Structure 1
Amino acid sequence: FVSGESSALMTAIEGRVGEPRPKYIRTAVKGVWNKPSNLNNVETWANVPLIINNGADWYTNIGTDKSKGTKIFSLVGKVRNTGLVEVPMGVSLRRIIFDIGGGIRGNKKFKAVQTGGPSGGVIPESLLEIPVDYDELDKVGSMMGSGGMIVMDEDTCMVDVARYYINFLSDESCGKCVPCREGLRQALRILENICAGRGKEGDIELLEELGSFMKDASLCALGQTAANPVLSTIKYFRGEYEAHILEKKCPAKVCKELISFFIDPEKCKACGMCVKVCPVDAISGGKGLVHIIDQEKCVKCGSCFTVCPDKFNAVIKLSGEPVPEVAPGTKIKKKAKGEKKCKK
């Protein structure tokens, strides 16, 4: 990933480790094999023949005052219509996600959108009306980047999102400069602890301090933008971090170490589906008896939650609250008149 940075890509082309060069060495003067080199993204080159054929005035009439032309986005995630989308600069995020993308799948609520690739920031619903251009995305803590646009719904944990991207960036960092290499390692360790229920007071402030240091002191664009996923999730979803740390609770019920599965005795019909799929035999209960999950055996894989028939929804996710006790041998409630039997 780091070899996407221009000077790092040039060293990779030369057959050497893809590490960025100091910025005082301009590639237009000394680039590939010490020759003057001009490197641009493929999307930039694709626009060149259009501008030559149609003229500069035609191109500058598209977009905003500071961001001209169109931009191609890879629209993915919890959105109905995924794919590549080309829109004029300045179109709002809401139009892209809801008018073009068709809105959120499964009638879920929109939560955030992450733009710019792995080192981009997340943008909450309150900012969906901002025009999509370089300056506006930068102002809200994200970026245009490679044109990635990942839509997230209410079931997404923002702390886990930050952990995922920091883990990726830590693996992909070339490790040449200390701020990026060590900053990412330390940030990842803190985020993993928070997601595992081991977070402590002061972790949020430490993440903010690390992020600021990385932005100011890293050698290349990867390190300078790598903190965006952390800083933006803290800025817009600080409450989720605090819930993980102070209440040992994952509001989105995603982080494994902070959730439990419970079978509601009022809804369980003893169909046995959950028993069949449990990989560690953690579920007990025979015919006509409420099924019970052994919390000590449970590995929180979620298989029982997935297979429980929608008409029952007996398996419930819990986070930050004790699991209710159910006495072994509890009989299921009798079926209401006219209710169909569950097919095993």
Structure 2
Amino acid sequence: MMTVDSPEKLLAPVLSAFWDQPESWTLDTYHRHEGYEGLRKALAMPADDVIALVKDAGLRGRGGAGFPTGMKWQFIPQGDGKPHYLVVNADESEPGTCKDIPLLFANPHSLIEGIVIACHAIRSSHAFIYLRGETVPVLRRLHHAVREAYEAGYLGKDILGSGMDLELTVHAGAGAYICGEETALLDSLEGRRGQPRLRPPFPAVAGLYACPTVVNNVESIASVPSILNRGKEWFRSMGSEKSPGFTLYSLSGHVASPGQYEAPMGVTLRQLLELSGGMRKGHRLKFWTPGGSSTPLLTDQHLDIPLDYEGVSAAGSLLGTKALQCFDETTCVVRAVTRWTEFYAHESCGKCTPCREGTYWLVQLMRDIEAGKASLEDLDKIADIADNINGKSFCALGDGAAAPIYSSLEHFRDEYEAHIEQRSCPFDPAASTAWADRSNSAHQEVNA
């Protein structure tokens, strides 16, 4: 675990370095902060050397899976005679996740510069940004930044005299959670219904328009320019050995100062809470998600785990998109998990049976448990349904729906049982205060 003299020294502002400056989204502001210097260095290098540099830096995908970015670029076959495409996944939809949208709103040129570098590396002449369509202000700002880049010669024909041509298309989706899955996104981009594809073939071989395609997250691509500009040693000086670099943590929920905190990989939630003023006054942390609602939830006993891929995995969860949703002791776990389950049932594309049917029945059972209409046998039933979804659905949406079910049963089974035994939600003000007293006593015993 990293140690610091003061909470402020945790921060590593790179992507967010000038978000608070006037007109931070303009090309002039970006130029004042070494904007497009990384691109100039990349264009002077052979494409394979750019890939090697990103690989050596250890940049891992910031969209949730943590797959090495440079390795993903390397999978693109060369000399195949087909066009190659880069698709940026900006369809940020995970409950609790709010890093890509603020990044695009405040500093869109970091993404555009990263796109040009990535396209140089994979020999692509056409890139796409698939943006969540509801974010109209971000869409307008992104269009403005793309126009500025074209006018300045960073996009279009013969970029900076290098002989490289690149067209960039911004596409607004229609608002479907499933389109955050990369193959469903590609189908949507092609004008079809967004549903996951059977793999293989993988996008690197047959992606957009059946051509080799790289699909990267916004933050992954936006992190590339600083690596080219400052070097791999600088990037590796932050974070941990297997998860180097900086990243954006989205802190939300019952915290004093929610927002984006850019820090080295491996920071702990305790350190981020110290930096943000802690939980709201007079309350304590009860449970939290390390990567949005699709990751197994953790408790106050996990405050000191390193928030990198290895640390969170060892604790039994997933780092995901680093969406740290923090809930205090006034929150009913059953109610929260029920709301999440309703979301996944609504957003299921219906293509595969485990997810389509499983999420529906999970909602029915969770609603009964929340209302105190279930039996103790129903707890084993929802655990069994979640197990039949997890790892057996067509894409990761099913896994995301199952994660809060089995993790909440693991950590808070007594709370589920209280709903059933009391025939109501113990957090309902009209219900008995016995559960609150019992819960507080248990917390004091744990901290003793």
Given the two structures, how large is their TM-score scaled by the length of structure 1? 0.72
Preserved CA contact (<8 Å) 2:370 2:424? no
Give 1:31's match in structure 2, choosing from 165, 186, 207: 207
CA distance 1:176–1:230, change in 2 (3 Å) = same
Matched, 1:109 2:284: yes
**Structure 2 residues not aligned, in runs of 5+:** 1-176, 436-448
- Name the amino acid aligned to 2:223: N
Structure 2 counterpart SS, 1:29: helix
More helix by share: 2
Counterpart CA distance in 1 for 2:189 and 2:433 is 49
Counterpart CA distance in 1 for 2:312 and 2:354 is 24
- Equivalent residue, structure 2, for 1:219: 394
Matched, 1:40 2:246: no
Preserved CA contact (<8 Å) 1:67 1:134? yes
Structure 2 counterpart SS, 1:71: strand
- Equivalent residue, structure 2, for 1:195: 370
Preserved CA contact (<8 Å) 1:62 1:69? yes
- Equivalent residue, structure 1, for 2:187: 11
Preserved CA contact (<8 Å) 2:286 2:329? yes
CA displacement, residues 310-333 of structure 1 (integer Å, 9 cap, x when unaligned): xxxxxxx64679xxxxxxxxxxxx
Structure 1 counterpart SS, 2:247: strand
- Name the amino acid aligned to 1:29: V
**Structure 1 residues not aligned, in runs of 5+:** 261-316, 322-344
CA distance 1:139–1:183, change in 2 (3 Å) = farther
Q: Relative contact order (C-alpha < 8 Å, sep 6+): which is higher?
A: 2
- Name the amino acid aligned to 2:263: V
C-alpha displacement of 1:47:
0.9
- Equivalent residue, structure 2, for 1:290: none
Preserved CA contact (<8 Å) 1:79 1:151? yes
- Equivalent residue, structure 2, for 1:100: 275
Trace 1:93-172 onto structure 2 (pairs within 5 A).
93-97=269-273, 99-172=274-347
- Equivalent residue, structure 2, for 1:57: 233
C-alpha displacement of 1:115:
2.6
CA displacement, residues 259-308 of structure 1 (integer Å, 9 cap, x when unaligned): 52xxxxxxxxxxxxxxxxxxxxxxxxxxxxxxxxxxxxxxxxxxxxxxxx
Larger radius of gyration: 1
CA distance 1:159–1:221, change in 2 (3 Å) = same
- Equivalent residue, structure 1, for 2:112: none
- Name the amino acid aligned to 2:378: D
Preserved CA contact (<8 Å) 1:162 1:229? yes
Given the two structures, how large is their TM-score scaled by the length of structure 2? 0.56
Root-mean-square deviation (Å): 1.7
Identity of aligned residues (%): 37
CA displacement, residues 207-231 of structure 1 (integer Å, 9 cap, x when unaligned): 2222222112111111123211111
- Equivalent residue, structure 1, for 2:130: none
Preserved CA contact (<8 Å) 1:117 1:149? yes
CA displacement, residues 166-214 of structure 1 (integer Å, 9 cap, x when unaligned): 1011111111111111111111111100001111122221222222221
CA displacement, residues 70-104 of structure 1 (integer Å, 9 cap, x when unaligned): 2212211110011111111111111112x122111
CA distance 1:189–1:41, change in 2 (3 Å) = same
Counterpart CA distance in 1 for 2:328 and 2:368 is 24
CA displacement, residues 229-258 of structure 1 (integer Å, 9 cap, x when unaligned): 11111111111011112232533x14xxxx
Preserved CA contact (<8 Å) 2:239 2:266? yes
Preserved CA contact (<8 Å) 2:251 2:259? yes
- Name the amino acid aligned to 1:30: A
